[in-house]
Chain A
Amino acid sequence: MATMRNARPSGLGSKLPVLVKALAGAVAGATMALSAAVHAAPSTAEVNTTNLAVTDDKVTVGILHSVTGTMAISETGSVQAEKLAIEQINAMGGVLGRQIEYIQEDGASDWPTFAEKSRKLLVNDKVAAVFGCWTSASRKAVLPVFEQYNGMLYYPTFYEGLEQSPNVIYTGQEATQQILAGIDWVVKTKGAKSFYLLGSDYIWPRTSNKIARKHIEKLGLKVVGEDYYPLGHTQFNSIINKFKLKKPDVIFASVVGGSNVAFYKQLKAAGIDMTKEKPLVLTISVTEDEILGIGGENIEGAYASMKYFQSLTNDNNKAFVKAFKERWGDDIVIGDVTQAAYLGPWLWKAAVEKAGSFDIDKVREASPGIELTSAPEGYVKIHPNHHLWSKTRIGNAKTDGQYEIVYETPELIEPDPFPEGYQ
Chain B
Amino acid sequence: MSYTGLRSLLPKNDLLSFGVLALLLVVILPLSLDIFRLNLIGKYLTYAFVALGLVLCWGYGGILSLGQGVFFGLGGYAMAMFLKLEASSPENTAIQSTPGIPDFMDWNQLTELPWFWEPFHSLGFTIIAIVLVPSVFAYIIGVAMFKRRVGGVYFAIITQAVAAILTILIIGQQGYTGGVNGITDLRTLNGWDIRTDGAKYFFYFLCVFLLFVCLLIAQFVRKSKLGRLLVAMREMEDRVRFSGYDVSNFKIFVFCLGSAFAAIGGAMFTLQVGFMSPTFVGIVPSIEMVIFCAVGGRLSIIGAVYGTLVVNWAKTSFSESFPELWLFAMGALFIAVVMAFPNGLAGLYKKYGEPLLLRVIDKVKAGRGGLGGDLNSKGVVHERQ
Contact = CB atoms under 8 A, between A and B. Distances in A.
Given A116-B43, A140-B185, A67 B277 contact: no
Interface in A205-230: 206-207, 210, 230
A9 interface: no
B156 interface: no
A210 B180 CA distance: 18
Interface stretch (A141-149, A377-385, A390-398): A141-149
B107 A140 contact: no
Contacts of A135: 180
- Say whether chain B's binding surface is mostly helix, strand, loop, or mixed: helix
Interface stretch (A44-52, A118-126, A298-306): A118-126
Given A112-B277, A141-B277, A203-B104, A231 B316 contact: no
B122 interface: no
Interface stretch (A102-110, A244-252, A354-362, A399-407): A102-110
Contacts of B107: 160, 162, 203, 206-207
A312 interface: no
B231 to A, nearest CB: 35
B64 interface: no
B72 interface: no
Contacts of B34: 124
Interface stretch (B131-139, B320-328, B366-374, B377-385): B320-328
Given A115-B273, A206-B107, A231-B171, A144 B323 contact: no
B181 interface: yes
- Assign chain B's interface to a size class: 35 or more
Interface residues of A, number: 38
Contacts of A123: 35-36
B275 A141 contact: yes
A230 B319 contact: no
B95 A120 contact: no
Contact of B324 (A67, A120, A144): A67
B97 interface: yes
A105 B168 contact: no
A206 B108 contact: yes
Contact of B182 (A108, A111, A423): A111
B181 A140 contact: yes
Nearest to A115: B273
A68 interface: yes
A201 interface: yes
Lowest 9 A-B CB distances belong to which pairs? A106-B323, A137-B181, A123-B36, A140-B184, A202-B180, A140-B181, A137-B180, A144-B185, A67-B324
30 contacts: A67-B324, A68-B324, A105-B319, A105-B320, A106-B323, A108-B327, A111-B277, A112-B273, A112-B279, A119-B36, A119-B39, A124-B34, A135-B180, A137-B277, A140-B185, A140-B275, A141-B184, A144-B184, A144-B185, A144-B187, A201-B172, A201-B179, A202-B179, A203-B104, A203-B107, A203-B174, A203-B179, A203-B180, A230-B171, A230-B172
Interface of B: 34-36, 39-40, 43, 95, 97, 103-104, 107-109, 168, 171-172, 174, 179-182, 184-187, 195, 273-275, 277, 279-280, 316, 319-320, 323-324, 326-327
Interface of A: 67-68, 104-106, 108, 110-113, 115-117, 119-120, 123-124, 135-137, 140-141, 143-145, 148, 160, 162, 201-203, 206-207, 210, 230-231, 418, 423
Given A140-B181, A203-B180, 17 more contacts: A67-B323, A68-B327, A105-B323, A111-B182, A113-B319, A123-B35, A124-B36, A137-B181, A140-B275, A141-B181, A141-B277, A143-B184, A144-B185, A144-B275, A162-B103, A206-B108, A206-B174
